[in-house]
Structure 1
């Protein structure tokens, strides 16, 4: 890695005593900046700390000496030295007179782009985040040179403070063949961005310090025209942009969405949730935590969606050693606002909880339901009612739970509970099945601690990354066709060796019930007996008793489980289900 700094050009503008002391300093080559404040001792800042480099306080003459040798200060109080990358920033008093200078060393670092060269060559837009001084502008300059010289692309740099290509009309050689457009005033940066696209046909636009809403909108406009964007923004982590309403559009924007009852139930969340508003302007984001340690988000959209749902995405951390070798490791996103892990009860605790059917709810519980006049009874209906009465003589406990002993070990000899990493299956659906069947299963968000991956077949098909991770960690993948409760229950039983795959499947009515009330279980048992005792063996249709719309929906789902058809007919409150043979 080659570093060019032209440090002597910067030292030539400071007073003689300061220049001499810096040249003799052992950390001269790692100097970050020199601070000159009126009436205070001059200070030099290095990576390991700051120290005074003279015991003589800075005077008006010292400040005037420095200002006379540099260009004019722009609207953002920045100036430079022609054809160098150094930056001199001014602090003014209330009358506008300069009372302090920050002389920052600008360095051209060649070879830094090797950490993300594969991402640069993809042609996708890249956003670089990091605190001030971590090296965002230096990396931006090197990326512009590589794109222009080595990849032969038309690159235009929007250089608002002349910090990327240096001061003066002739750009610094560090940007290679890339072209530079200067900005008259910082507040006009968004206009120059659009002008560059309209007038100069660039393939790549390089922007430093996107900081206003107008600039964020201009960046989206450029990206939608098919131009690759390479930009920087202040903020340590991508989560900082999510909380910044001015810059949130760079990552797609955040909006509050009200879900329907069914969708909220499927997600297991509240009805009002936060979601990404639009596709991100930048497809890739890089968090520059340190100069040689960067966190890469190869899919900003996936990262934002995961964070909004309270999940912790897996990150790619890239580091570069002194020899220029790049290493990549995967880490979990450490976010203070991430949702806490779900607490899963152990099988012993689950067994100690007594399962009991609650009392009647809804219209039946309120006593407001209008009684139904008795209908003519047929021999088949009498036979069915006898079966229904007989099934409830044993009580509801056998239907809701059961006390079957679970195996002491899993299918591969692992200790229970079985740790499952779900993918594409609603977590609340899994929790409901585990609680209803009291299975020795624990859900985990970490694939490293999982015994098996339980995934939706349609989702896992295109997830080569997850398949590769599971193969590397030797974690088997078990797929289900759909995320319905019966399918999930059957898969969990098979994983625990609790059923014979060739045996006919007997549905667990608690999986179809919403609240597990006696009213729901009774209606589901009625439908089950009708199917198993009359519709299937005798091939005759059966009409069930009138039920509420919610309960009829559960009965429909149970009938579909048997691969039969059913319709609702009649008028409320006497509307009921009719089940047809196959």
Structure 2
């Protein structure tokens, strides 16, 4: 399917509001005016035009206060968000003020109504499901939002109401820009009142579709959920570039269902092959479909937000569609398994608890006696010997075990049934609690390895021993290497302590936890991990007793 993209920008009205010499410079430019994004005028600096792929000065004269005032007199009134416009256009003029409130800088963004941009997601719009658009500034979120509102109102004859906070969707002035078609527009007096206007639109005007730009606060996220629960289709944009970003944003994560820590029973944790505390989606998403916008001609689509969020929380790559539009306007759709962009930020979605360390009787020497150095990602494993091992993780994190296998590049796969395994990996607590079941595995000749704790380091060490990996570093290891190994153990113990504390705070068991005194390097790691789980942290006390406290 193809569709022509027509551009309406009313750029002549913007140029009329600029000083004459700046207007003349833009008109004389050899660059394509359709690529002009914004004009910047800062007091005491050269005026500048920013195009899609280039920036260019417009004069050798510095901008004066009189020239800034000249523009202000020819545009609309600035609101509380320091944005103004030109009536019946989509242009946006944003102000920079000094401490006295005087405007000393202007950013004049060119607004465009581009007819045809909705082609790339038209089939999704037709479903009637709620759609959330994400993307960096300048990728065309608002342009696509405006065109979606027009298509729904004119072609599908739906009752569409636009909640317009900064008049970016329907333009400045009381009469909306024709780019929104038959859709109606409700202006928001102050940005802080956007959530109230969203609810008012539903209660007073019986819309079938609500269009919202820049959902950015918790109140707006709550209002969006209220609207969705009333059966109204939502089409909106939010602050954030990707689904991963949105999930770890405590203010807006409710738009995709929210995230909560859940404590599993022993049997359920064993069945899943995870620890007892995991992160799960809290509620149905407010938006059914999420679209990450790279540009007008390239988007990534998650047509089932609930399934995508659940996959990420399990540490899996969520299925997605990569859509692109070629020069002829033809849309190409490709199903992809997208890599997790922010996997560390969600800690692979599993909060491990500390375990002890020894190995089952039939498996030889204990894994804690293996002192080989940790293998770096991408290192060759040409010394791995033997056939492919089928590993059943009994209470051991599958995601971490997969990472360890990938790092060492050993011939191993993870199986979901113990009867298919050639070896079992478990933790000390599980070995004690399920001794009979594990003993049966040993009686059938399946060795059981009991790890000291549920960390990638321990898994890599055990795998290296299973596959008889002989690393060159082992032969060179001396007293210095032993010191480094002990240092790794200290870091590992500190992070396990932190993960246990995160468990307690997120589950509500404790309001705050103070950790043991650590070095500045380890404290920095602990602060970073706490931040990834949206918890607060601070360092307390003086060295050598300085320690980290974490709390909600």
Q: TM-score range by the shorter chain?
A: 0.5 to 0.7
Alpha-carbon distance in structure 1 between the residues aligned to 2:260 and 2:397: 23
Alpha-carbon distance in structure 2 between the residues aligned to 1:193 and 1:358: 64
Is 1:78 aligned with 2:119?
A: no
The corresponding residue for 2:14 is: 10
Unmatched 5+ stretches in structure 2: 349-358, 365-386, 445-552
Per the TM alignment, residue 485 of structure 1 is displaced from its structure 2 partner at its CA by 3.9
Alpha-carbon distance in structure 2 between the residues aligned to 1:148 and 1:517: 62
SS at match of 2:362: coil
Which of the residues 324, 327, 344 maps onto 2:329? Answer: 324
Deviation string 1:64-107 (CA, Å, 9 cap, x unpaired) is 11000011001101111000010101111111110000000000
Distance change >3 Å, CA 357–CA 68, structure 1 → 2: same
The corresponding residue for 1:91 is: 96
Which of the residues 169, 176, 187 maps onto 2:174? Answer: 169
Per the TM alignment, residue 332 of structure 1 is displaced from its structure 2 partner at its CA by 2.7
Which of the residues 214, 217, 223 maps onto 1:218? Answer: 223
Checking the alignment, whether the CA contact within 8 Å between 1:190 and 1:218 is kept in structure 2 is yes
Alpha-carbon distance in structure 2 between the residues aligned to 1:256 and 1:58: 55
The corresponding residue for 2:147 is: 142
Checking the alignment, whether the CA contact within 8 Å between 1:35 and 1:101 is kept in structure 2 is yes
Checking the alignment, whether the CA contact within 8 Å between 2:213 and 2:236 is kept in structure 1 is yes
Is 1:117 aligned with 2:122?
A: yes
Distance change >3 Å, CA 518–CA 291, structure 1 → 2: closer
Is 1:59 aligned with 2:64?
A: yes
The corresponding residue for 1:287 is: 292
Alpha-carbon distance in structure 2 between the residues aligned to 1:333 and 1:239: 12
The corresponding residue for 1:276 is: 281
Alpha-carbon distance in structure 2 between the residues aligned to 1:509 and 1:87: 63
SS at match of 2:143: helix
The corresponding residue for 1:302 is: 307
Unmatched 5+ stretches in structure 1: 342-353, 360-415, 445-453, 455-482, 493-507, 529-582
Distance change >3 Å, CA 24–CA 519, structure 1 → 2: closer
Alpha-carbon distance in structure 2 between the residues aligned to 1:140 and 1:524: 61
Which of the residues 38, 44, 49 maps onto 1:44? Answer: 49
* TM alignment of 1:109-508, pairs within 5 A: 109-338=114-343, 357=362, 442-443=412-413, 485-486=418-419
The corresponding residue for 2:24 is: 20
Structure number with the bigger relative contact order (C-alpha 8 A, sep ≥ 6) is 2
Checking the alignment, whether the CA contact within 8 Å between 1:81 and 1:167 is kept in structure 2 is yes
Checking the alignment, whether the CA contact within 8 Å between 1:357 and 1:517 is kept in structure 2 is no
SS at match of 2:60: coil
Per the TM alignment, residue 356 of structure 1 is displaced from its structure 2 partner at its CA by 5.4
Alpha-carbon distance in structure 1 between the residues aligned to 2:226 and 2:40: 39
Checking the alignment, whether the CA contact within 8 Å between 1:311 and 1:338 is kept in structure 2 is no
Alpha-carbon distance in structure 1 between the residues aligned to 2:211 and 2:397: 42
SS at match of 1:208: strand
Alpha-carbon distance in structure 2 between the residues aligned to 1:145 and 1:200: 18
Alpha-carbon distance in structure 2 between the residues aligned to 1:180 and 1:519: 67
SS at match of 1:58: coil
Checking the alignment, whether the CA contact within 8 Å between 1:357 and 1:518 is kept in structure 2 is no
Alpha-carbon distance in structure 1 between the residues aligned to 2:261 and 2:195: 28
Distance change >3 Å, CA 129–CA 519, structure 1 → 2: closer
Distance change >3 Å, CA 355–CA 515, structure 1 → 2: closer
Distance change >3 Å, CA 46–CA 419, structure 1 → 2: farther
Checking the alignment, whether the CA contact within 8 Å between 2:388 and 2:413 is kept in structure 1 is no
Checking the alignment, whether the CA contact within 8 Å between 2:275 and 2:397 is kept in structure 1 is no
The corresponding residue for 1:564 is: none
Alpha-carbon distance in structure 2 between the residues aligned to 1:102 and 1:265: 58
Per the TM alignment, residue 335 of structure 1 is displaced from its structure 2 partner at its CA by 2.5
Per the TM alignment, residue 330 of structure 1 is displaced from its structure 2 partner at its CA by 2.4
Alpha-carbon distance in structure 2 between the residues aligned to 1:118 and 1:510: 47
Task: Give me the CA root mean square deviation.
Answer: 3.5
Distance change >3 Å, CA 484–CA 71, structure 1 → 2: same
Alpha-carbon distance in structure 2 between the residues aligned to 1:50 and 1:519: 70
Per the TM alignment, residue 355 of structure 1 is displaced from its structure 2 partner at its CA by 9.0
Alpha-carbon distance in structure 2 between the residues aligned to 1:510 and 1:160: 56
The structure with more radius of gyration = 1
Distance change >3 Å, CA 257–CA 24, structure 1 → 2: same
Alpha-carbon distance in structure 2 between the residues aligned to 1:217 and 1:509: 46
Per the TM alignment, residue 272 of structure 1 is displaced from its structure 2 partner at its CA by 1.4
Alpha-carbon distance in structure 2 between the residues aligned to 1:154 and 1:509: 60
Alpha-carbon distance in structure 2 between the residues aligned to 1:10 and 1:142: 21
Normalising by structure 1, report the TM-score: 0.62
Checking the alignment, whether the CA contact within 8 Å between 1:115 and 1:318 is kept in structure 2 is yes
